[in-house]
Amino acid sequence: MLTISTTVRPATDLGFLLHKHPDRVQEFGQSYGTARVFYPEAGEERCTAALMLDVDPVRLVRSRGRSTPDYALGQYVNDRPYAASSLLAVALADVFRTARTGRCDSRPELAAGPIPLEITLPVLPCRGGPEMAHRFFEPLGWTVEAQAVPLDEGFPEWGDSRYVRLSLRGEVRLADALNHLYVLLPVLDDAKHYWIASDEVDKLIRAGESWLAAHPDRSLITRRYLGRRRALARTAFARLAELGDDVEEDLEPPVEEDPAADPGPTADAPSSEPAGELPAVPAGELPAVSAGEAPGERDAAPKRPLNVLRREAVLGALAESGAHSVIDLGCGSGQLVGALLDRPEFTKVAGVDVSAQALAIAARRLRLDRMPDRRRERLRLFQGALTYTDDRFAGYDAAVLMEVVEHVDPPRLNALERVVFGAARPGHVIVTTPNAEYNVRYDFLEGMRHPDHRFEWTRAQFQAWAAGVCREYGYHVAFRPVGDDDPELGPPTQMALFGRGSAANAGGGDD
């Protein structure tokens, strides 16, 4: 069972947001039992909706064949059907399908913004202990209370079980809260009751579109959600890169985790997802792993993600240039734009992208609808293609192409150069791009770092391209490494600082 409470006034508007009337008990059949929605309390000051899943473990077993690897009497005698596992996540997705989209015709303003919420789950499998619940939920804006459930309260010397009582409090958009739960319940359990198919990537991206790309543990969340299937995880990382910054750091080998004592006897029961699912890899055949950290991992200094280092390098170079107006060409989900707005010295900031979806995500990430007027006056977001001359690109002290040029077809690079360096002609242009020589350091990488990359340059190729731009358009250039600078292979990201004027103002580095 899980409960969702709010104190927004009138609190009974929760019924509109969930599309479930507070005066009724509603039942929804599942392939493994029955889900019921009811309201233990429904008043003007506080309203609580409960989702109770009545699981029939016998039906779970009878729906499977005797050839299933762990078909045994143990399927009948276990505690998993009574904990908030992927069974509950799938029921939540079915019962609150419309609420998860954020659509509410009766209360559109309420559905669009954060409201005070309290969510409780009395029994939740949590491999790695209560700290893992804090680690996954707190970056999403929740205040987390996670208490370990003892194996037996009558025998405290037996210690704690792998279950927790979880309480989440915060001001969060209801649709986001439901999607947090849909993804993170099976992630905390580190198991699913149904076969993991390729369309799990689509489900993950849909549910995590507004938050997963920026989550500090997105790599671990993605791998657990997809059962540590490397091919599926790589596809998900590539699609997340389209929602946020590039994700080269996700190509690093995952931290090994201690084996789990109990992989869970219902880990590969038949899918209870909507019809149309195709069986793929049974989760029960995956190595059993816990959610805990490897020994000594917490003591080691955390490695800073490459996308953070890259953004900081660009901000540093902009500060050195003395620019006050900046346009981010290919702004994606707006992470650099937000960092620029946080610095008052940048009095005029623009973000442009060819993708309308990316701009919508950027607007949501930047909280454009609630942005203070003075901050909003400094910002402009608009759609545009970098291979077509556009007067809106001109008039800025500096332009940034951060991980952009490698997405352009080589025959179109001349058009991009003409638009940026010839027509817009800012005083400074900063370009970052992957260093292809460094790719051998990524153990799991096959091919290029992103499926949409049209090419990836070596250092010599990048420098040759930059030199050609300078000859054609009257710029000079300097180069800087971003990330660990390998003495043989160079850095993972290479950065070029173009300038018009004297070479002394180029920002340092080697010409």
Q: Dump pLDDT digits (tens) for 393-423.
A: 999 999 999 999 999 999 999 999 999 999 9
* Local structure of 353: helix, strand or coil: strand
| pLDDT number for residue 82 | 75
Residues 184, 329 within the same domain: no
More confident residue, 263 or 27: 27
Residue 233 in 3-state DSSP? helix
Same domain flag for 425 and 354: yes
Angle, CA 481 vertex, CA 507 and CA 139 arms, to 5°: 105
Confidence (pLDDT) at 153: 85
Structure tokens at 153: 């309260």
Predicted confidence at residue 80, as pLDDT, reads 66
pLDDT-derived band at 506, boundaries 50, 70, 90: very low
Mean pLDDT on 102-111: 91
The per-residue pLDDT for 268 is 36
The mean predicted confidence, pLDDT, of the chain is 83
Q: Is residue 298 part of a domain?
A: no
Kindly report which listed range (60-64, 117-121, 282-286) carries the lowest average pLDDT score.
282-286
pLDDT at 20 over 80: yes
Q: Does 300 fall in a domain?
A: no
Same domain, 20 and 95: yes
Cβ atoms 386, 354 nearer than 8 A: yes
In this structure, what token pair is assigned to residue 431? Answer: 């370009």
User: Quick check: is 310 in a domain?
Assistant: yes
**Same-domain pairing of 86 and 191:** yes
The tokens 């299933």 sit on which residue? 68
Residue 196 DSSP class? B
Of the pLDDT bands very low, low, confident and very high (cuts 50, 70, 90), residue 51 is: very high
Do 248 and 346 have their domain in common? Answer: no
Whether residue 331 is contained in a domain is answered as yes
Amino acid identity for residue 8 in this structure: V
* Nearest C-alpha neighbor of 35 from the set 77, 11, 6, 2: 2
Q: Indicate whether 69 pLDDT > 60.
A: no
* Structural domain containing residue 469: 306-505
> What is the pLDDT, as a whole number, of residue 274?
36
Average pLDDT for residues 283-307, to the nearest whole number? 44
Bridge partner list, 111: none
CB–CB of 482/495 below 8 Å? yes
Please state the domain count of the chain: 2
Q: Is the pLDDT of residue 278 over 60?
A: no
Q: Are residues 270 and 403 in the same domain?
A: no
**pLDDT tens, residue by residue, 242-267:** 554 444 444 444 444 433 333 333 33
| % of the chain beyond a pLDDT of 70 | 81
Which residues touch 6 (CB under 8 Å, ≥6 apart)?
14, 46, 47, 115, 116, 117, 118
Place 75 in a pLDDT band, splitting at 50, 70 and 90. low
- Distance between CA atoms of 73 and 77, rounded to whole angstroms? 7
Count how many residues are written for the chain: 511
Query: Which residues neighbour 73 within 8 Å (Cβ) at sequence distance 6 or greater?
Result: none
- Picking from 285, 314, 343, the residue at the C-terminal end of a domain is 285
